[in-house]
Every structure is written in structure tokens, then in C-alpha cells.
């Protein structure tokens, strides 16, 4: 069905189950250890062999010699695959993931050999016996040096890399108050809990892969393209995914090599990347350099906004199926604030590092680290409160298009005002370094949040089973976000059933193609697919009951029409009744600018002697349309806030600029927040926030909004506490200490 924004009320508006804080349906399975992840399908392949990937020891060059004789003779070894004997594969940038297809080395830890043995330990030990000679080439590993050669990106998913409105140069020249600043953000790792893993199983000419992936139809397309077989002969299963954050949107060595080896050996092969391999073998969030220029009148109204972004990546033909997009850090600046004269520009340099790809809130997460700091710096120049400065420059339509493209729903001002009230913003001293608690310098910071509301086609199948239970089937994934639960809630609401009467099955391409988990489109799109399927089932049930579908309702396990109540169990007494349908959104995003909005408020303490930073409390107020499940949505925001704190204070992939790899490739040295780093965080969702222009569920994306702007709220609070403005993330002790006044003892 096509979503009609003017369709009016629908069955989900009852909100008996939708919008309520239900526990996760998959929770008991996970707590009991019965939710099976990609590496755990033991019953399906009890005789699976184990694979181990050997990665390149250089960052750029080619293999000149390989000696695998010792590895092939090692105990338990079944196969040693290299570029010399790997089956032929196909390559299509962005839609395939060939491995071992030539001797060229494009980045450090790229797969150069795959060893399969009876046990994991045997495969790993044999891989270490392989001897490799390389011819090294000079690579590019330093974004600062490569910046001068950066060009307009060739891969942009249909978005323009540059935009311009008005006369920016003239507006900046005439503005009474201007700001020009540059910010840097480092490469970051997704660092999800579950490693990338795949088990491949062939049955004749049909392939099944049990894999950790966020978008099953992408995985199916990619492996079919790579192997040169029809997609109809590929099944992808990913029932549970232990986090992804974008890294599992594409396939890496585990997916392709397990399938190739399983076909060659005639038995299942499974492989999981080690934690160290994840950092250089898979993808990362690319480092950025961002230049922001602002111009404003004395009244605080912005007249000029310019945001330029430089990042680096492999070219598409070298990056496998990541397609090598840039980190589009200036895109949110096109929508967030008013200003008649505007410019954004994105440039990409070649870097011979692991491919850069989407990481939670690609673009906004790092773009707002710069923009929202610049807004605070500008507010200080103007002598305005940072909250009021943002409110003053709010706009209710796309500022690059005009009033003909209004926002479907924009309540940023309410987020800022409610957040300021609940947080106690009026207690903030605008002069840095004035608030203290013993030896701790106290600071308050604020930042706006925005994340594009993306929607995509999604399908589902629903079955009313004998006995009156309802089953939902969809190729949608659950990466820890609550997909099982909200899709079950949608079906229960639509058919008038308790949630306990609904069974949800996800993560299998034998089910209808779904939105998948990425871009914050998953919940809104996938539940809309369930809505469409349930509407089709309601029509079938009405026909079976002999009533007009237009006037029918469903409640308490009954079909209700003109006072007549028919138990659903009676309608499916003889055989199950099923329906399959999907949702299409058409040109909705052309009609409306769509985004979720929020405001983050943060209090930090900075030790006046050591410059140790502690986040003491944080509040996020969010406008995300209808909240389908307050409990799971809150959890998503808390996770995003935690990642935002990490980005501000600790997360950085350190590049060895001589040898071209990320040095800190483990969780001992790539620091992420732990419990001791995170205080009690609070989240408020605006009430009455339903967005009828977004979807039948009237929701918008939640999963990535929580990280957008958080880091800037933290660093703005650090400035308020210390008077030190750090523009090079993360804000570590050394960067603060050099600017802090020496305390008197």
C-alpha cells in the first residue's frame, strides 16, 4: 500500500498497546542465553569447519610471494585459500564484497589468506605458518596532508555534495559579528559487542548464510553478486544481532570467504572475526576537518552560514561493498538554523586506511560536534544566552528551499525551553570558571539535536493461526533496538489482541523483504509494513465474517461490526488466514522536510588540578513523533547519549601515519565509556508529538538522535567550567591542561 498522509485516523490511534512501555519480547530469550546469534547455529550444521582470516601486514602494496606449504600440512587443516586459488568473483562497487581476488593490498589487515580447519585453534595456528613477501608502496594516511588534494566525492547516494543559497561572501563581509573556526574529529570504531561472524551452508546449489547483518536484502544481493548466482538461491538468516551501529550494513571477509570455502569443501564453514581484526579489517567512521563561518546582526539573527567538511577514504573501486562514501558532516547544517545566505561543501581525500562507512548518525554525529560548538562561540560573541540564540534562529521550513517545503513537524524550540526549565539552566553562570564544587570546576552546556527522518519500503506477512494467535513474519532485523517488540505491538493493536497472543519472527530472507536496521528508518518503516499487512488481514477477516471491512473494528480478540462480535479464533478455526503487504512512501520527503529534533543539556565537573572531566548529569529532550514504546525508545536515547559522551572525551582511532593502520585495535586501548563514566541520564519525549506526515504509525526515527549533539553539549560545558575551548576531539587531559590556569595551592 502507498502511505497517504491525508488518510486520517487509523487503528493504531487507539494506543492501547502502541505507545505503552512493554518489556522486550526477546528479553527472556537473551537473559536465558537462548537467543541464537550468527556463530551459534550449531544444530543446523553440527559438522561445521572453522575458518580464520589472515590479514595483510602492510597498508599499501602487493603480495609478491606466498608460501602456504607449512599451513596446508598443519593438523586439522582442510583448505588454505589465497588469491592464487580463490574462485573467481564478481565486483560491483557498493553491491558486492569480493575477497582474495588479486595480490593488491589496499589497506592494513585486508584478507590475504583464509585457513579452514576442524577447529578454530587449528585454523588460527595454521594461518600463522603462512609466509608472505610484499612490495610496499607509499600510502596516504594523514588527512591534514591529503586535504589539499581532496575532491568532490563521486559516491553520494543522490545527495548533492555542495549547496549554495544567496550571497555568502557579501553577507559575511557586511555582518557586524562574524565567526570563523575549524574543528577536527578523529576516526572512530563501532566497537559493537558481537563480532562480525558468518556460518555458510550449501545444499546443492542453494546457499544459506547465518550472519550478523543489519540489512538482509543487502547481504543477499551482495553475496549473490559476488558469487555470480541468482539471489533466489541465497537465504540470509540473522535472527539476533549483537549491535552494529552501521558496521554490519555491509559484508566483510567472514561473509564471502565462508561461502566460498563451504562450496569448495562441501561442508559448512563458520568464521568470526577476532576483536583486533574488527578495527582494521572492517569499517570505521572517517576523521573530519570542518570549517564553519557564521555571520549575524547585533540582534543575534544569523545572516550567513557556511560549513565545509574534509574527510578521507579509499576510492569506491578499492573499498569493496562499502562504496566509500564521505562523512557528510555538513548536511545537518542545511536544515537546522535560519539564515538567508548559506553554503555547504564536502570534499574527500584518498586515504589508504580501512574503509570509512556509516557509523551511528553518519554526518550529524560529527557535524554537530562542530556546528553546535560554533553556535556557542557565536552566542558568546553576541553576548546572548546559548539557548536563546538557538531559539532566535529557529525556522519552520527548509531554509535552503523556502516555505514551499515545510517541516512535517518541528518542535526544536519546545525541546530547548522544556530542557532549560527541567535542567535548571537559569543557575548557569555565563562567565567561565565561576561555578565550583570543592576542587571541581562546574560547567553547563547545551546543544541542539537533529537527525534526518528517513523512511523506506518495508513488507511483512501476518498469519492468524487456529486458536486465535497471530504470527508476524518479516526479514526485519533486531540489532538490540526492540524491533521484535514494537512490531508485535503494532500487530496486536491492529487486530485487537493482547501482546502475549502475538509471535514475531524476524531476520530471515524467507520472510518478506523489510526496511532493515539503519539510518533510524527501521522502526517507523518496519511497523508501517506490519500495519499494511494487518490492514490486508483485517479485510480478509471481515470478508470471512461476511461484513463490510469499512466499518469493522477489532478488540479483545474479536471482530466487531454493528454490534456483532466474532471471536478471531472462530474465524481461523479450520485453517490459518494470512496476508502479506508492504508500505511505499512515494515522494513524501520532497513534500516535507522531515527530521527528529532534540536538545541536550549537560553538567560537567573538571578537576582544577588534573583537568579530569566528569559528566555529572545530562538531560535530553526529544521530539521524535509518536513514541511506539517509551521503554525501548528511552533505552535507545540513553545508548546514543553514552556514545556521544565517548566521542567527546575518549574515542579515537589513532593512526600510525608511517605504517598506515589504527594502532589501538582492541578495547583495552580504544576507550569507550564504561559504567563509571556515565552518571544517571534522563530523557524526556515531548507529549502530543505525533507526526501524521511521516507514516501510518505517526512516528519518526529515534535510534540515532540520542548521539547527535551530545558531544558538543559536553564540550560546551567544559568551556563554561574552564574557559578552555578545545576544537580537536576528543577532549583529553593534555588538550585541557595546556589552556587551564595554574591553580594556586
Q: Which of 75, 48, 44 is nearest to 235 (CA)?
A: 44
Q: Give dist(CA 484, CA 524) in Å, integer.
A: 13
3-state secondary structure of 220: helix
Task: Please state the φ and ψ torsions of residue 71, each to the nearest 5 degrees.
Answer: -65, -40
Cis-peptide, bond into residue 130, ω within 30° of zero: no
Active-site hit among 118, 687, 704, 738: 704
Q: Give dist(CA 312, CA 548) in Å, integer.
A: 59
Pairing mode of beta strands 655-656, 661-662: antiparallel
Share of the chain residues as helix, strand and coil, in percent rounded to the nearest 5:
30, 25, 45
Joined together, the cell numbers standing for residue 553 give: 473494528
The H-or-E segment that residue 565 falls in is: strand 564-567
Joined together, the cell numbers standing for residue 192 give: 559493537
Q: Which of 139, 597, 659, 202 is nearest to 413 (CA)?
A: 597
Phi and psi based region of residue 228 (left: phi greater than 0; alpha: psi -120 to 50; beta: remaining): left
Q: Give dist(CA 702, CA 696) in Å, integer.
A: 16
Torsion of the alpha carbons at 698, 703, 705 and 706, rounded to the nearest 10: 130
Q: Are 89 and 165 in contact (CB under 8 A)?
A: no
Mark whether 651 is an active-site residue. Answer: no
Residue whose entry in the numeric block shows the C-alpha cell 569480493 = 98
Q: Are 351 and 140 in contact (CB under 8 A)?
A: yes
Q: Which of 415, 414, 375, 427 is nearest to 177 (CA)?
A: 375
Task: Please state the φ and ψ torsions of residue 350, each to the nearest 5 degrees.
Answer: -80, 125
Q: Give dist(CA 725, CA 615) in Å, integer.
A: 17
Q: Which DSSP state fits 99? A: -
**What secondary structure does DSSP assign to 575-626, as a single string?**
S-EEEEEEEB-TTHHHHSB-EEEEEEEEEEEEETTT--EEEEEEEEEEE-BS
Phi and psi based region of residue 736 (left: phi greater than 0; alpha: psi -120 to 50; beta: remaining): alpha
* 616, 649, 660 from 654: Cα distances, Å: 28, 14, 10
Task: Please state the φ and ψ torsions of residue 128, each to the nearest 5 degrees.
Answer: -75, -10
* 9, 128, 315, 317 from 223: Cα distances, Å: 42, 28, 21, 17
Q: Which of 439, 67, 51 is nearest to 274 (CA)?
A: 51
Q: Are 604 and 719 in contact (CB under 8 A)?
A: no
Q: Give dist(CA 23, CA 69) in Å, integer.
A: 55
Beta-bridge partner residues of 603 = 444, 617
Q: What is the 3-state secondary structure (H, E, C) of 300-360?
A: CCEEEEEEEEEEEECCHHHCHHHCCCCCCCCHHHHCCCCCCEEEEEEEEEECCCCCECCCC
Pairing mode of beta strands 302-313, 341-350: parallel
* Residues labelled as active-site residues: 704
Amino acid at each position: 500500500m502507498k502511505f497517504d498522509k491525508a488518510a486520517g485516523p487509523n487503528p493504531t490511534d487507539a494506543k492501547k498497546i502502541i505507545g505503552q512501555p512493554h518489556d522486550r519480547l526477546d528479553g527472556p530469550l537473551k537473559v536465558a542465553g537462548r537467543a541464537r546469534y550468527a556463530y551459534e547455529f550449531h544444530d543446523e550444521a553440527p559438522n561445521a569447519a572453522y575458518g580464520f582470516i589472515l590479514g595483510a601486514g602492510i597498508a599499501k602494496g602487493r603480495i609478491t610471494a606466498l608460501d602456504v606449504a607449512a599451513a596446508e600440512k598443519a593438523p586439522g587443516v582442510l583448505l588454505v585459500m589465497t588469491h592464487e586459488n580463490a574462485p573467481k568473483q564478481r565486483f560491483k562497487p557498493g553491491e558486492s564484497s569480493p575477497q582474495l581476488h588479486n595480490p593488491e593490498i589496499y589497506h592494513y589487515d585486508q584478507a590475504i589468506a583464509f585457513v579452514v580447519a576442524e577447529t578454530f585453534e587449528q585454523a588460527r595456528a595454521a594461518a600463522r605458518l603462512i609466509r608472505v613477501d610484499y612490495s610496499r608502496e607509499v600510502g596516504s594516511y594523514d588527512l591534514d596532508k591529503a586535504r589539499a588534494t581532496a575532491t568532490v566525492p563521486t559516491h553520494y547516494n543522490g545527495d548533492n555534495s555542495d549547496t549554495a543559497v544567496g550571497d555568502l561572501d557579501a553577507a559575511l563581509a557586511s555582518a557586524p559579528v562574524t565567526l570563523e573556526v575549524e574543528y577536527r574529529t578523529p576516526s572512530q570504531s563501532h566497537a559493537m559487542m558481537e563480532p562480525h561472524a558468518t556460518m555458510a551452508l550449501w545444499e546443492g546449489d542453494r546457499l544459506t548464510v547465518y550472519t550478523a547483518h543489519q540489512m538482509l536484502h543487502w547481504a543477499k544481493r551482495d553475496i549473490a553478486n559476488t558469487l555470480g548466482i541468482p539471489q533466489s538461491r541465497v537465504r540470509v538468516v540473522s535472527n539476533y544481532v549483537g549491535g552494529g551501529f552501521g558496521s554490519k550494513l555491509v559484508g566483510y571477509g567472514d561473509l564471502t570467504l565462508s561461502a566460498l570455502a563451504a562450496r569448495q569443501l562441501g561442508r559448512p564453514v563458520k568464521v568470526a572475526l577476532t576483536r583486533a581484526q574488527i578495527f582494521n579489517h572492517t569499517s570505521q567512521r572517517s576523521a573530519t576537518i570542518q570549517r564553519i563561518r557564521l555571520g549575524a546582526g547585533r540582534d543575534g539573527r544569523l545572516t550567513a552560514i557556511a560549513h565545509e567538511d574534509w574527510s578521507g577514504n579509499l576510492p569506491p573501486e578499492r573499498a569493496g561493498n562499502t562504496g566509500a562514501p564521505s562523512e557528510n558532516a555538513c548536511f545537518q547544517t542545511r536544515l537546522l538554523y535560519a539564515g538567508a545566505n548559506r553554503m555547504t561543501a564536502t570534499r574527500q581525500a584518498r586515504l589508504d586506511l580501512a574503509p570509512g562507512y556509516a557509523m551511528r548518525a553518519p554526518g550529524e554525529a560529527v557535524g554537530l560536534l562542530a556546528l553546535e560548538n560554533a553556535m556557542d562561540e557565536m552566542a558568546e560573541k553576541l553576548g546572548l544566552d546559548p539557548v536563546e540564540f538557538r531559539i532566535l534562529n529557529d525556522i519552520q521550513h527548509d531554509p535552503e528551499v523556502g516555505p514551499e517545503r515545510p517541516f512535517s513537524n518541528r518542535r526544536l524550540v519546545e525541546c530547548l525551553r522544556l530542557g532549560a526549565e527541567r535542567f535548571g539552566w537559569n543557575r548557569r553562570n555565563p562567565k567561565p570558571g565561576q561555578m565550583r564544587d570543592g576542587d571541581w570546576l562546574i560547567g553547563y552546556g547545551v546543544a541542539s539535536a537533529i537527525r534526518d527522518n528517513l523512511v523506506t519500503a518495508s513488507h511483512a506477512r501476518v498469519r492468524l493461526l487456529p486458536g486465535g494467535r497471530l504470527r508476524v513474519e518479516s526479514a526485519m532485523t533486531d540489532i538490540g533496538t526492540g524491533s521484535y517488540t514494537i512490531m508485535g505491538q503494532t500487530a496486536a493493536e491492529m487486530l485487537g489482541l493482547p501482546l502475549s497472543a502475538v509471535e514475531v519472527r524476524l531476520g530471515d530472507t524467507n520472510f518478506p523483504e523489510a526496511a532493515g536496521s539503519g539510518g533510524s528508518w527501521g522502526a517507523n518503516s518496519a511497523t508501517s509494513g506490519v500495519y499494511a499487512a494487518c490492514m490486508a488481514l483485517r479485510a480478509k477477516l471481515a470478508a470471512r465474517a461476511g461484513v463490510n471491512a469499512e466499518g469493522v473494528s477489532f478488540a479483545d480478540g474479536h471482530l466487531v461490526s454493528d454490534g456483532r462480535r466474532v471471536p478471531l479464533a472462530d474465524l481461523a478455526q479450520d485453517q490459518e488466514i494470512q496476508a502479506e503487504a508492504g508500505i511505499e512512501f512515494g515522494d513524501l520527503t520532497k513534500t516535507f522536510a522531515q527530521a527528529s529534533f532534540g536538545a541536550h543539556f549537560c553538567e560537567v565537573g573538571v578537576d582544577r588540578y588534573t583537568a579530569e572531566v566528569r559528566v555529572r548529569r545530562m538531560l535530553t529532550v526529544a521530539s521524535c513523533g509518536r513514541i511506539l514504546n517509551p521503554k525501548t525508545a528511552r533505552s535507545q536515547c540513553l545508548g546514543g547519549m553514552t556514545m556521544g559522551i565517548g566521542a567527546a572525551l575518549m574515542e579515537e582511532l589513532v593512526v600510525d601515519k608511517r605504517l598506515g593502520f589504527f594502532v589501538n585495535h582492541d578495547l583495552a586501548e580504544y576507550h569507550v565509556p564504561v559504567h563509571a563514566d556515565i552518571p544517571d541520564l534522563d530523557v524526556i519525549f515531548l507529549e502530543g508529538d505525533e507526526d501524521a506526515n511521516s507514516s501510518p504509525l505517526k512516528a519518526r526515527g529515534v535510534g540515532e538522535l540520542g548521539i547527535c549533539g551530545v558531544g558538543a553539549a559536553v564540550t560546551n560545558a567544559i568551556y563554561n567550567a574552564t574557559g578552555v575551548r578545545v576544537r580537536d576531539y576528543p577532549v583529553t587531559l593534555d588538550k585541557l591542561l595546556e589552556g587551564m590556569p595554574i591553580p594556586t595551592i
